[in-house]
Structure 1
Amino acid sequence: MGIDLSIIWFVIIVFATLMYIVMDGFDLGIGILFPTTRDADDRDVMVNSVAPVWDGNETWLVLGGAALFGAFPLAYAVIIDALTIPLTLMLIGLIFRGVAFEFRFKATPAHRPFWDKAFIGGSILATFSQGVVVGAVINGFEVTNRAYSGGPFDWFTLFNLFCGVGLTVAYALLGATWLVMKSENPLQARMRQVSKQLLVVLLLVIAAISLWTPLAHPAIAERWFSLPNLFFLLPVPVLVVVLSGWAWKKLNDTESHNAPFVLTLGLIFLGFSGLGISIWPYIIPPSITLWQAAAPPQSQGFMLVGALLIIPIILVYTFWSYYVFRGKVQHGEGYH
């Protein structure tokens, strides 16, 4: 039995996407949370907590996009064509976030508020746009003769916009629990309270999307609620409830610093798993599978050699950077 290169590349793309959501999610969350903190020193601590790692986190976005282009060119072409506007807005948001990140440390006190606003706006725009893209993938794309045949604004639907809001809440929760882990004293106490509020909102968002999606898409409803699938997939919502309750308990425990962030990562993983279960095996829902969208095996095999060399290197330097900059961030230290 031969190796299915399409499955291998699908796993690589899913892994890269999940790594991006987890890692860039909490530093985008820092920008989303900036309005909750007015104190300049606390804002510096928030930014310094991600300063050594934020630009490296975006490596996974580049890897995922390049892998999609090379391994599944049809999917890349359809998605880029269908989602040109939200993807462009996402890139604009990431540019503003990145420039503001660098410039706010060099700015004079008179100009720093401008860069703080750019940091907030860029973070929210990038996150919201990513959520819209996720919603659009769930809704699917019109494809005729292997080309996108819908309109430039088909992504502009209530469900997709709601997904944008939902991802903004998820990233904000990631950022808040990251700060519970990385900060101390009043800032940490404030982020504990913010995390509890965001956790409740996120659960409401998950519940709404979990009901909305099967109601709007009978095929997804059949995937989740037909037997015996219901029994196999039931652990996903059950684990969401269990991890949420556990996270709430740890947020109330002032001695617990790392657990809320780890448990939030678990919630994000379960949400991502739910998305995968809903659309599998379609890489362009609702009609084109990953095998139909795949590049020739020769191309996938050639790319795989490079991927197997570069991914371990990325993992090693990512682990090393997080290890070197582990621990709490103090006032007056960090990125300058």
Structure 2
Amino acid sequence: MFMSEALLPDLAAAAIAFTIILYVILDGTDLGVGILLATRDDPDEKKLMVNSILPIWDGNETWLVLGGGGLLALFPVVYSVLFSALYIPVITMLLALIARAVALEFRADASAQMKRWLDISLVAGSLIATLCQGLIMGCFVQRVEHEEGRFSGHGWEWLGAFPLTCGMVLIIGYALLGSCWLVWRTEGRLQTAAKGQARTLGWLTLLGMTAILLWTSLSNPTYRDHLLGSSLSLPLLVLHGVLVAGFYWAFSSRLEFLPLFAVLGWFGVAFVAAIIALYPLILPPSLTIGQASSPASSQAFMLAGFAVLVPVTLVYNTWGFWVFRGKVTAGK
């Protein structure tokens, strides 16, 4: 074996975390555009919005598949408990993503009447999928009751106030990502509207993130102690402040990708802060990374697969963005 077995669990957890954040920032942007479709009435603007994500949305969802499959192989106990606790939101999310996919792929060739129904499906699918992801995140953070590797709750914990708040904040955050994407990829009236939406959604997202941070810190002293005791917390706070200032400054810059990149930084900082708060837990309130790990041989095999699949998927995503770079116009 080329590495110490003691490192395998942490490397496995890092691999899962990497796929999660890649999915959130990539497909979250696509879902945000779908959510914002509800704010536009002009058929041409709707077409531009859909066309801006049509070539890349399916590649972005690859990270969801990779993360789910990796979790099953690397941390089977976590997979078992989580999917038992979150069966309804997970299945609902997958059905919503399917509805969104159908709308995206069939919209271009649909009649005017069918297009209206597909637009409803696209907006509803994007909203429901995002809400479910927030519910899953919130339920995971607040704690998932388990005993001896089995879920021991009642299965409706995801309907609590904290998960619902996380779901609403994630909808706002994804809409912010979508608006910044449209600032970068469109022009004219649609871009102007997206800039206004991004400024407003930016403040709402910051307010929501702050509320979740305070709620989590007050309700769980362990998370608060981890954050306050980490040497990374202050640099992360400073970095986040710089990114917030950069986001609002970016609207006066000619570099139209900057607002999106700044918000991606917000999500990245929040994700790192969440890891600091949780580590070494992988399933609150008590299951650690080491306790939940599959056998070392299984993790070594899967990590070798990750070492191949992750670069290939990154190249695929990057190539897709490069081929379809530039402004989306009526002719593209």
Q: Shorter-chain TM-score: which interval?
A: over 0.9
- Once the 2 structures are TM-superposed, how far is the Cα of residue 312 of structure 1 from its aligned partner? 1.6
Alignment of 1:184-195 (within 5 A): 184-195=187-198
Aligned equivalent of 1:236: 236
What secondary structure sits across from 2:282 in the alignment? strand
Instruction: From the superposition, tell whether residues 297 and 153 of structure 1 become closer, same or farther in structure 2 (CA, over 3 Å).
Output: same
Find the aligned partners of 1:136 and 1:166 in 2 and give their Cα distance. 14
CA distance in 2, matches of 1:65, 1:325: 28
2:68 match:
65
Instruction: Write out aligned runs for 1:7-22 (5 A).
Output: 7-22=10-25
Q: Secondary structure at the match of 1:283?
A: strand
**Shift, 1:306, TM fit:** 2.1
**1:2-81 aligned within 5 A:** 2-3=4-5, 4-81=7-84
Deviates more, 1:140-149 or 1:232-241: 232-241
1:219 pairs, out of 217, 222, 236, with 222
Q: Structure 1 204/56 Cα, relative in aligned 2: closer, same or farther at 3 Å?
A: same
Task: Name the % identity.
Answer: 39
Q: What stretches of structure 1 of length at least 5 have no aligned partner?
A: none
The 1-side partners of 2:216 and 2:274 are apart by 10
The aligned counterpart of 2:299 is: 300
Residue 307 of structure 1 and its aligned partner are, at CA, apart by 2.0
Instruction: Kindly provide the CA deviation profile for residues 173-222 of structure 1, in whole angstroms up to 9, marking residues without a partner as x.
Output: 11100110000111111100000000010011011111111111111122
In the alignment, what sits opposite 1:269? 268
Output the amino acid matched with 2:318: F
Question: Which whole-Å deviations, capped at 9, do the CAs of 1:120-151 have from their partners, x for residues lacking one?
Answer: 00000000100111111111111112211001
2-structure distance, mates of 1:232, 1:107 = 52
Once the 2 structures are TM-superposed, how far is the Cα of residue 242 of structure 1 from its aligned partner?
A: 2.1
Paired residues of 2:52 and 2:328 also in contact (CA < 8 A): yes
The reply to whether residue 161 of structure 1 matches residue 156 of structure 2 is: no
Q: Map Cα deviations across residues 225-283 of structure 1 (whole Å, 9 max, x no partner).
A: 35xx3x541222332222112111212x1633111011011011111112111111111
In structure 1, C-alpha distance between the alignment counterparts of 2:331 and 2:128, rounded to whole Å:
29
TM superposition shift of 1:77 = 0.3
Q: Of Structure 1 and Structure 2, which has the larger fraction of its residues in helix?
A: 2
Report if the CA contact (8 A) 2:227-2:273 is conserved.
Answer: no
1:56-135 to 2 correspondences below 5 Å: 56-135=59-138
- Bigger Cα displacement from structure 2, 97-106 vs 159-168: 97-106
Secondary structure of 2:202's aligned partner = helix
CA contact (8 A) 2:34 2:123 kept: yes
Q: Partner of 1:155: helix, strand, or coil?
A: helix
Looking at structure 1, the residues matched to 74 and 116 of structure 2 have their Cα atoms a distance apart, in angstroms, of 43
TM-score by length of 1: 0.95
Letter in 2 for 1:179: L
- Contact 2:143-2:285 within 8 A present in 1 as well: yes
Structure 2 matches for 1:276-291, cutoff 5 A? Answer: 276-291=275-290
Three-state SS of the structure 1 residue aligned to 2:107 is: helix
Deviation at 1:27, TM superposition (A): 0.5
Per-residue Cα deviation, 1:23-66 (whole angstroms, up to 9, x for no partner): 10110001110111111111111111111110010000000000
Matches within 5 A, 1:311-330: 311-330=310-329
